[in-house]
Each structure stands twice: as C-alpha cells, then as structure tokens.
A and B are shown apart, each in its own frame.
Chain A
Amino acid sequence: MAESVEQKPVPSYGPTKHLVGLLAEFETPEQLLKASKACRDKGLKDWDAHTPFPLHGLAEAMGLKPSKLPWAVLGAGIFGGIVGMSMQFFTNAVWYPFIVSGKPFYSLPASIPPAFETTILFAGITAVVALLVFCGLPRPNHPVFTSHRFKRASDDRFFVSVLATDPSFESTETAAFLESLNPVKVERLEEE
C-alpha cells in the first residue's frame, strides 16, 4: 500500500480529526475519464469528478442521468399559465365584470399576453431555483476544500473524490480501489 494512505497515528493532543472522504489525483483528462468509468461501474453513489474545464464525455463516463430540471420548469410553466388565465377570468368576468371596448367580460385573445407572461415568469423563476436545489446549492463548504492539492483542480489537475457518506465506503478498501486506478496520489480528506 502506498505511503499516502497509511493510517497516521492520531496525536493525543489537539482536535480529533476523522476521515470524511478520499481524493484521487490524476494528471490527464483521459485518466479521469477512465477512473470515472471505474467508479460508475463500481456503483459508487457519493462521489464526484473535478476538472478545470468542461470535459466531453465526462457525463457519460460518470453515468449521470439527464436532469429532472425540464420537468420542473414545464410543470411550473403550465401552472403559471393556469394562474394567469384564472386570475383574469375571476377578476374580469366574476368579481368585477366591466365592459372594456365592447368585448365580452372574458375573452380569450385579450388574456393570452398576460397568461403568457405569467407562464414565462413561473417557468423562469423555477428554472433558477430548481437548478440551485438540484445542484445542492448553496453549499458553504465541501470536504475536498480541506486538501491543498485540490486547488489545482481549477488549474491543471483532475480529481475524483469519494465521500465517506457513500454506503459502500470503507477507508482501506476504497483507498485500495482508488490506488488501482493509477492516480498520482490518493489523499485522505479529514475534518475536525
């Protein structure tokens, strides 16, 4: 086993640190794609791939499923359209009937533009909010930030992080698995 994953003796003073995940570092995008495929095939759940730039084929290699975002936006859009239509129907035709330019109390053509606007409004706001929710944002911190080497994830290195919250996570076994992917280094992520 490489020295990097060896259990260091816990010092008897200072705050106790415990393992929250493992970080494997790679030099090339090809290695990251290969490692991602291995993690996907192993059936890991709480893991992620980190790259300094958008990487073609990474979504497929990670086995990411298409986002549910479109469904949320569609649902909100339809709901917004119904809200806009019924708002005009109840105000114009039921609660405050008032003849405007000789048209019927409720006439479809005139109420389409406002209903269109509420459709777009609801869909647009939902797109932003649901995107944040689905991405798990806002997230003030992440275990990978404990690693100094991880700073290179925005420069020239590629990382795979596996979190301890993953159901199949077992420190030595997972570390051995990551070592088998030929990384530059496997690092223990520890938090207080």
Chain B
Amino acid sequence: MGHPVTYITLDDKELRLGERAQKLGLGLFGLGLVLVVVAALLGIFAYGEEGLVHFLRAYLINYAFALSLAVGALFFVLLHHLTRAGWSASMRRWAECLAMTIPLLALLAIPLIVAAWADALYPWTAQIPAEEKAYTLVAEKRPFLNLPFFTLRFIVYFVILGGLAWLMWRHSTRQDETGDLAESKRLGAISAPGMLVYALVVTVFSMDLLMTLEPDWFSTIWGVYFFAGAVLGFVAFMILSLAALHASGKLSSAITREHQHDLGKLMFAFVIFWAYIAFSQFMLQWYATIPEETIFYQRRASAHLEGDAQQWVTLSYILMAGHFFIPLFGILSRWVKLRKGLLCFWAAWLLVFHWIDLYWIVTPSVLYHHGYAATEGAYGTITAGIPFGYAPLDLLLFGGMAALLVGATLLIARRNRLVAIRDPRLQESLHFHQPF
C-alpha cells in the first residue's frame, strides 16, 4: 500500500491479563454459582408451589442467553477462518475464549435435562392421556420428542460445539508458541465442514431448547431466528467487553477505532438480519392463518388477548421497536459507530433487548402450558400477564449466568495472550485503515 511498510509490534504487557483478572474471574465465577444457588433456593422455598416452574423458566431464559453469546462467538471464529478474514485477526482470541465456555454451558444444561426427566418444564415430557390425543400433535412427534433421545441429542450438541470451540482455541494458542503457518491452514480446513455442522447443530439445538416449549407449533425458520439473535448478542457483548479491556489498559494498540467501527457495522447488520428473520416468520404465519402455526403469536400478539394477557401484546410492540426500529436509526450513522461511548450504549441496549427477546419466547409458553393463572376468554384459554412478581428470580439468574460466563471467559483468557500474536494476518488487521 501507499504508506511506508512498518511492522507494528505490540507491547506484551497489554496482551496478557494479570493477577487482577485472575481474581476477578474467580470472584465472578464464585458469585455466579452463589447467585444461581440462591435463585434455586428462593424459587423452591420462598415462592411456594409455583416457584419451581418460575425458577426453571428464568433458568432457561438466562441459560439460553449465555449459550447464545458463546454460540455466536463460535460462529465468529469459524467465519473468520472460513473467509480468511484479515480485519478481525487481532480480536479473534477473545472470541475463541468466549466460545470455550461451551463445556461449562454443557454442565449448566444438566438442570434442564433433569427438569425434562422430572416433567417440570417442557410440556411434551408428560404422558398424553388418550382423551387429549386429538388436541395435540405430541403423540405423533414421539419418535423425536422422547426423553432418552432428547438427552442424547444434548450430548451430541455439546460434543460437536465444544469440540469445534476446543479445536479453534487449541490450534490458535499452539500457533502462539510455534508460529507454525500450518496451524492457520488447519484451522481453515476445519472451519469449512465445521460451519456446515455448526449450522445444523445450532438449528436443532435451538429447537430442542426453546421451540419444544410449544410442542404443537411449527416454524421452519426457528433455527435462523435463534442464530440471528445469538450473533447480535455476541457482537454487542464483544463491543462492551473489548471496551472494558481497553479501559483496563489492555489491547490499546491491538484493537483500534477501525475494529470498533467494524464491529459496529456488524452489529447494525445483525439488527436488520434479526428483524428480517423475525418478520419472515411472523408474516408467513400471519398470512397463512394455520392454527398449528399461529398458536405462537396467539399467546403473544393476538387482538383477542384480554386483561393482563394484553401485557404480552405491549411487550411484542416494545420488542419490535427496541430490537429493530430504535437501534436501526440509532446506529445507522457512521458518526455514532465511531464514538466508543455511544456504540457501547447501543451494544448494552441490544443485549438488554436480546434478553427481552428470549423472555418473550419462553415465558408465555411456559405460563400457558403450566396453566398458571389462565383464564377463559371469549376465544379460549388465555395466559396470565407478565409475571413481575418473579422478577427477582429472573434478575438473580441473569446476574448468575452473566457472572459465570464472564468469569469463565476471563479465566480461560488468562492462560494465553489476548491476541494471536503469530497469526499471519495479524499485521493486516493492525494496519487496517479506512479512508473515511
């Protein structure tokens, strides 16, 4: 290029997390465990009979939130190697560490598996009485919706996703030591079939995790919907966490304004992508008006919802505005994306709405299928409104899962440098500069 070729060397002190990060990581990890246990005890003992369901509901929401960030990170790393991206070479390691929390998330999935076996969360886990068989499709779906296969699938998901995350991380950190160019080629070779397997696994995984809350429902776009939210959440998390690392004096020359700008653009793209997918799902089901498709929206956005249940309609509008229209215009301008404070604000905003999206997916279905406070309206059974009374469980588990995820990421990142220093495309990333 036109400028004189200079080799940018990075200060090694800025690339390693210190003792403080170790303590912070351990502290957050401990705090996370405590918060989850406190929420469990509170749910089981303080809230009476309905407490357990609401604990499991809140656990599922926040588990899906943490999982979506890690799964989004794995996508980012796979995509980086698949496309031989230059721009993201200096931030790749942090995403690798976030993806490496997938084994931890496998352990955190155990309560959900137990809940399924105990018939405490998913509606399809119960025996279907003969007289109800005419009203549900679960009996027809038994070859897929049965507990042993469900458990086996979770094991397969985590072996594949965890294995991919480990391979990405292992080869990349090994290159830090050896500087072997073959590692980059190997990562590229893994990422191509890896991306195909990733897409299939995430699609079916999101169906098992969230869609089976509504076992009679059909939506062939569900996997992409979850994926869109997951990558959006990941990019928002990336912007915030890199800003936090900057603030603590790390990566100041490895992550530049250009990288931040690029992440802003990626976040903007996924705001639109999420809306595109969400609208595609909604419009086709709204237009066709087939009962087994519209049940999902019947609980959330139907004009026939009465009383407290109308809160779900309000929440649907809030989600539409907060997850799409407001951030669309908020981060449309380059001016905003180049300002770290503003971009961090929108990243935090979108993380909140990614969480609200998951809340909106999980809660109405759980309330409906557990029959809590359901009333008979003119158009059939109507779910209760938003369970504000159980908000402490939601908040505790949110704090718990977030602390576990960030704590684990810090502890993993502490073991190696924060930047893949011998990546052949690192210099390209450091030099990257946009004329305008």
Contact = CB atoms under 8 A, between A and B. Distances in A.
A110 B2 contact: no
Interface stretch (A19-27, A50-58, A129-137, A177-185): A50-58
Interface of A: 29-30, 51, 53-59, 66-67, 70, 74, 101-103, 109-110, 112-113
A73 B1 CA distance: 30
A94 B289 CA distance: 25
Contacts of B282: 109
B1 A53 contact: yes
Nearest to A66: B436
5 nearest A-B pairs in the assembled complex, by CB-CB distance: A55-B2, A29-B2, A56-B3, A59-B435, A109-B283
B2 A54 contact: yes
Contacts of B433: 56
Contacts of A67: 436
B435 A101 contact: no
Contacts of B287: 101, 103, 109-110
A67 B289 CA distance: 47
A103 B286 CA distance: 10
Contacts of B435: 54, 56, 58-59
Contacts of B333: 70
Nearest to B280: A113
Given A66-B436, A67-B436, A102-B289, A56 B283 contact: no
Interface of B: 1-4, 279, 282-283, 286-287, 289, 332-334, 433, 435-436
B272 to A, nearest CB: 11
Nearest to B333: A70
B279 A112 contact: yes
Contacts of A51: 2
A124 B340 CA distance: 30
Given A56-B433, A66-B436, 6 more contacts: A30-B4, A54-B435, A55-B3, A58-B2, A101-B287, A103-B287
B283 A112 contact: yes
Contacts of B1: 53-54, 56
A30 B2 CA distance: 9
Nearest to A158: B2
8 contacts: A30-B4, A51-B2, A53-B1, A54-B1, A55-B2, A56-B1, A56-B435, A58-B2
Contacts of A55: 2-3
Contacts of A57: 3
Q: Which of B2, B283, B436 has the most CB of A within 10 A?
A: B2
Given A102-B289, A109-B286, A53 B436 contact: no
A14 to B, nearest CB: 41
Contacts of A103: 287
